[in-house]
Amino acid sequence: MAKQAERRAATSEAILTAARRLFGTQGFAATTMDEIADGARIAKGAVYHHFKTKEAVFEAVFDQVSRDLVVEIDGAARAEKDVLAAMVAGTQHYFAATAQGPTGQIILRDGPAVLGWERWREIDARHFGGKLPRALSAAMDAGLIARQPVEPLARLLLGAVTEAAVACAGRADIARAGAEYARAFKSLIEALRAKA
């Protein structure tokens, strides 16, 4: 029984690895289940055994990419002096990561279109989007910003970050655009900082 579970897990991982590469380089629309099966070196029927639709494969990949991105963001933010500076550093990393390459293709270009905004937000709330309310609460607890309702402030800031990331992804000068939006986000966060 354990060996069968291990085989299932290995097959599922092979599918997700192949799909992640294909979705990241070609995009969702251009990727077929046949290509995913070929990339995983399994029969197409095995892909359908694990995932009923291409959308289901994409959702699993999206969740995986989102989870990996949060790990990277945490690494970028960990060295900062306080939670507000960590929010800025983490958001800078988010802009850079989602404005280019496979991560941007999966998270911003295809994510909302394939999953729909509602499902996209639900998954994001488990990862990047969920970090913002916790960080704001921690900043309030530390006296870095004035006490206020966390949820509306988090939604406003997350909306700004998401819109900026989408704008970056659509620009030819991604690095410059990302740096500009990161500076603007830093200004927003620093404006919240309690005056000593």
pLDDT tens figures, 102-111:
998 999 889 9
pLDDT at 173: 78
Does 3 or 65 have the greater pLDDT score? 65
Domains of the chain and any CATH numbers: 55-192 (1.10.357.10)
| Cβ atoms of residues 150 and 44 within 8 Å | no
pLDDT tens column, 109-161: 899 899 998 898 899 889 988 889 999 999 999 999 999 999 999 999 988 98
Q: What share of the chain is helix, strand, coil (3-state, %, to 5)?
A: 80, 0, 20
pLDDT at 1: 61
To the question of pTM greater than 0.85 for the whole model, the response is yes
